[in-house]
Amino acid sequence: MPKFRRTDRINEQFKQEISLIVRDEVRDPRVGLATITAVQTSPELDHAKVYVTSLGDAEEREEIIVGLRSAAPFIRKQLAGRLSMRRIPELHFEEDRVLSEAMRIEQLLREALPNGVGASDEAADDEVDADDGDDVEVDGGEAGSDPADGGEAESAEGGTKA
């Protein structure tokens, strides 16, 4: 399916405008601190899914979605006044589950991996760090001294220091 650049620009514009409207103009106490994370419009621009995330438990997030759905006609009217488009799409508010799904997958991966896998990687890193400390001078002399000249280091002009 081809990617529509105009649709991407419209999605971003809707996201910005809806965020401002929800923050500044929606007076429904159920909305609270809702964050608009993404907007996805249909290619015909007749429907738009608005993805929302917020803090709180599942019941509070559902209450925010209900409040936004009841404010959808008001938000749509405000968008019509701010944007010069023939038709403003119908807004469908949905909870953005990307973060919660990512955390769930990470937890499943932690449970699926055996305990020894992470520890062996850390042990290999420790061995590399221990090898880094073995790069000391073996001849026992000071850094910058030459054992052939009796421990005296040469200066930049070619002379010797006493």
Position 142 pLDDT exceeds 70? no
CATH number of the structural domain spanning residue 41: 3.30.300.20
Q: What's the average model confidence in pLDDT over 55-76? A: 94
Asked whether residue 111 is assigned to any structural domain, the reply reads: no
Position 137 pLDDT exceeds 60? no
At which residue do the structure tokens 């599942």 appear? 58
Q: What's the average model confidence in pLDDT over 88-92? A: 96
At which residue do the structure tokens 């608005």 appear? 50
Position 28 pLDDT exceeds 70? yes
> What is the per-residue pLDDT for 67?
96
Asked whether residue 18 is assigned to any structural domain, the reply reads: yes
Domain that holds residue 69: 5-100
Q: What percent of the chain has pLDDT over 70?
A: 67
Asked whether residue 149 is assigned to any structural domain, the reply reads: no
Asked whether residue 28 is assigned to any structural domain, the reply reads: yes
Question: What confidence tens digit (pLDDT) does each residue in 97-110 have?
Answer: 988 899 899 999 99
In contact, 34 and 22? CB cutoff 8 Å = yes
Mean of the per-residue pLDDT values of the chain: 79
- CA pair distance 130, 156, nearest whole angstrom: 35
Q: What's the average model confidence in pLDDT over 92-97? A: 94
> What is the per-residue pLDDT for 105?
93
Asked whether residue 61 is assigned to any structural domain, the reply reads: yes
Asked whether residue 161 is assigned to any structural domain, the reply reads: no
Overall domain count for the chain? 1
Asked whether residue 93 is assigned to any structural domain, the reply reads: yes
Asked whether residue 52 is assigned to any structural domain, the reply reads: yes
> 119: pLDDT confidence band, cut at 50, 70 and 90?
very low
